[in-house]
A and B are shown apart, each in its own frame.
Chain A
Amino acid sequence: MNDLIRMVASSRPARLDENEDTRPDPASIMAHPQRPVARPASRRRLVAATALAVAGAVIVGGVAARTNEPGSTPSATGTTTGTRTGTPAPATARALLLAAAEQTTQDSSNGRYWRIVIEQGERLEVGPASRPYAILRKISEERWLPTGQQAAAGAVVARMLGARPVGAADEEAWKADGSPRQWRQGDVVITMAGGPRGVKMAPAGAVGLWLAGAPVTMKQLAALPSDPAALRKWLLARLDTAAEGPADYLLFVAGQALVTELPVRPAVRAATYRMLADLPEVRLFGAVLDQHGRAGTAVGYLRNGSETRLIVDGADGQALAQESWHGDTLLSYQVFESTGYTNEAPPMR
């Protein structure tokens, strides 16, 4: 050990030590069956990550400066509503998902790039311990994935859209905190104003596709089965080694990724909707507006008080958004602004 490591060793925080009095008895763990006959009952945790593997690059690009005018700062989150829209409402989650499958038939599968534009929002707790408050941070992200055999690079274009206190009470606490225009979260600086656009070129295989607990390649996605049962089997085999948790929940999360952000054939998306339709725990949440005000219908999977929701436009089977809620609190969202193939070239800068 050199001096630097020794210095770190002697700075070890006491917070790493557990309070031994509250240590659970190992018998509570050994009460579970040793062999994975049934997957263990739900354990307390938030929604599993359909992690955007590119997020690190995104954040780095956005920290740099605040150049745009504060007037463009997005307002606090809208809430979903129960308003009805023109399309007849499905009676069950299953009906919605099967209808979405029926509608998912064609899109142009030709183009040099698969391009997806996403707005992400996330709620962060900031401020003094005595009066913390929540802010909503928004990030815009564009992903370009080359489709062909050519050795073209992919690209990720990111732009920080700024952050705002979430509600009136948060606004008050923010003012009491001295109305800061930036917040620090560890090594990340979050600014109230947005940031400049950042482009990160990525090798074709490295734009961060993720499915069912592990990275996935374009080639694997292209070979996915378009039969719902076969797709389910493929995902379960993968989840068995890559993830732990109730199978239905993991399938729901994987299904969300397939219908929202992964470049798969329409037939595979349709199969995904059909697979989701057969998951017993998926509930119909009802007619909602996504965070961009687009009308759709939400289905949700509730786990320990947190619900992950998928918002679908029943009329054309298009997945609009996914959201993560804890009770009445929106924790995060992704709005899928546009998805599809293009012959345009990604921006270089």
Chain B
Amino acid sequence: MTESDPERRFTAIYDEHRAQVYAYAVSRAGRQFADDIVGDTFLVAWRRLDVVPPRPLPWLLGVARNVIRERYRDEARQASLAAELRAWVTEAGDDPADGVAERVAVLAALGALTEHDRELITLVAWQGLRPRQAAQVVGCSVATYFVRLHRARKRLREALDARQVEITLPLQEHTR
């Protein structure tokens, strides 16, 4: 069986980055839509393989971001995302490992942020992007990115300090 160069290249990109695109999709739209978003994103990558840069992750996340914005009805996505954020907290709470209280607090505080702030922080903390790459994903200059990240971090700190954990606690009661 012979594989053409484009197929080899695409498969390599897919194998290397699918997990990261998936994680981004979950954090933006919840697990419910993640598979579809990842599928749509890589379909764009395949169709436009000629413009995919050598280090494709920021480009891929930028495409995923557009896919989410263009195609997922906002209310459906918000509901899915809300369920996702609740699950982060409840599932962190089930984990018997050390530091559970801190993880619950951090995830609850992240859930209390705006989507935009949360995206800025998680692109760095969970996707491991460098500032230039994160700026590319959200489509702003590096300077603007730093200002926004600074503000987002400040609000995360405030959310933690204000112990906004309680924002999600009523929902934990619901899950009994």
Mark B10-50 against chain A: 1 for CB-CB distance below 8 A, else 0.
11001100110011001100010111100110111011010
Interface residues on A, range: 35 or more
User: Nearest chain-B residue to A130 (Cβ)?
Assistant: B176
Chain A CB within 8 A of B2 CB:
no
Please state if B106 and A8 are interface contacts (CB–CB under 8 Å). yes
Nearest chain A CB to B126 CB, angstrom units: 5
Chain B CB within 8 A of A129 CB:
yes
Interface hits, A135-178 → B, CB 8 Å? 177
Q: How distant is the Cα of A43 from the Cα of B72 in the complex, in angstroms? A: 12
Please state if B125 and A12 are interface contacts (CB–CB under 8 Å). yes
Which residues on the A side are within 8 Å of B84 (C-beta)? Answer: 15
Nearest chain A CB to B11 CB, angstrom units: 5
Please state if A187 and B175 are interface contacts (CB–CB under 8 Å). no
Chain B CB within 8 A of A349 CB:
no
Interface hits, B88-119 → A, CB 8 Å? 88, 91-92, 99, 102-103, 106-107, 110-114
Please state if A8 and B125 are interface contacts (CB–CB under 8 Å). yes
Please state if A185 and B26 are interface contacts (CB–CB under 8 Å). no
Interface hits, A1-58 → B, CB 8 Å? 1-2, 4-18, 23-24, 26, 29-30, 32-36, 40, 43-49, 51-52, 55
Option from A6, A127, A324 in Cβ contact (under 8 Å) with B73: A324
Chain B CB within 8 A of A222 CB:
no
Among B49, B82, B121, B157, the one with the most A-chain Cβ atoms within 10 Å of its Cβ is B82
Please state if A29 and B124 are interface contacts (CB–CB under 8 Å). no
Q: How distant is the Cα of A32 from the Cα of B146 in the complex, in angstroms? A: 39
User: Nearest chain-B residue to A189 (Cβ)?
Assistant: B167
Mark B124-160 against chain A: 1 for CB-CB distance below 8 A, else 0.
1110000000000000000000000000010011000
Which residues on the A side are within 8 Å of B10 (C-beta)? Answer: 26, 29-30
Q: How distant is the Cα of A264 from the Cα of B45 in the complex, in angstroms? A: 36
Please state if A128 and B6 are interface contacts (CB–CB under 8 Å). no
Q: How distant is the Cα of A47 from the Cα of B70 in the complex, in angstroms? A: 10
User: Nearest chain-A residue to B100 (Cβ)?
Assistant: A11
Please state if A186 and B82 are interface contacts (CB–CB under 8 Å). yes
Please state if A124 and B75 are interface contacts (CB–CB under 8 Å). yes
Which residues on the A side are within 8 Å of B106 (C-beta)? Answer: 7-8, 11
Option from A24, A32, A122, A244 in Cβ contact (under 8 Å) with B46: A32
**Given contacts A29-B39, A49-B73, A184-B167, are A8 and B110 in contact (CB under 8 A)?**
yes
Nearest chain A CB to B129 CB, angstrom units: 12
Please state if A17 and B23 are interface contacts (CB–CB under 8 Å). yes
Q: How distant is the Cα of A125 from the Cα of B171 in the complex, in angstroms? A: 13
Chain A CB within 8 A of B55 CB:
no
Please state if B79 and A124 are interface contacts (CB–CB under 8 Å). yes
Nearest chain A CB to B92 CB, angstrom units: 6
Please state if B40 and A244 are interface contacts (CB–CB under 8 Å). yes
**Given contacts A10-B99, A43-B39, A177-B174, are A16 and B71 in contact (CB under 8 A)?**
no
Nearest chain B CB to A121 CB, angstrom units: 10
Please state if A29 and B174 are interface contacts (CB–CB under 8 Å). no
Chain B CB within 8 A of A109 CB:
no
Chain B CB within 8 A of A203 CB:
no
Which residues on the A side are within 8 Å of B170 (C-beta)? Answer: 184
Q: How distant is the Cα of A31 from the Cα of B175 in the complex, in angstroms? A: 43
Q: How distant is the Cα of A47 from the Cα of B42 in the complex, in angstroms? A: 20
Please state if A4 and B157 are interface contacts (CB–CB under 8 Å). yes
Please state if A43 and B36 are interface contacts (CB–CB under 8 Å). yes
Please state if B26 and A4 are interface contacts (CB–CB under 8 Å). no
**Given contacts A4-B157, A8-B106, A45-B71, are A186 and B76 in contact (CB under 8 A)?**
no
Please state if B23 and A128 are interface contacts (CB–CB under 8 Å). no
Please state if A5 and B124 are interface contacts (CB–CB under 8 Å). yes
Among A14, A23, A30, A122, the one with the most B-chain Cβ atoms within 10 Å of its Cβ is A30
Q: How distant is the Cα of A171 from the Cα of B4 in the complex, in angstroms? A: 58
Mark A229-258 against chain B: 1 for CB-CB distance below 8 A, else 0.
000000000000011110000000000000
Nearest chain B CB to A209 CB, angstrom units: 16
Starting from the known contacts A8-B110, A46-B73, 17 additional A-B residue pairs (CB-CB under 8 Å) come to A1-B124, A5-B125, A8-B126, A10-B99, A12-B126, A13-B92, A17-B23, A34-B46, A43-B40, A45-B40, A48-B73, A49-B71, A184-B170, A186-B111, A187-B113, A331-B73, A332-B73
What are the 10 closest A-B residue pairs judged by CB atoms, nearest first? A16-B23, A185-B82, A8-B125, A186-B82, A128-B174, A11-B106, A26-B14, A9-B125, A11-B103, A13-B88
Question: Which residues of B are in contact with A by a Cβ distance under 8 Å?
Answer: 6-7, 10-11, 14-15, 18-19, 22-23, 26-27, 31, 33-36, 39-40, 42-44, 46-47, 49, 67, 69-76, 78-79, 81-88, 91-92, 99, 102-103, 106-107, 110-114, 121-122, 124-126, 153, 156-157, 167-168, 170-171, 174-176
Can you list 10 A-B pairs with a CB-CB distance of less than 8 A?
A7-B102, A8-B126, A10-B103, A11-B102, A16-B23, A34-B47, A40-B43, A122-B75, A127-B174, A185-B79
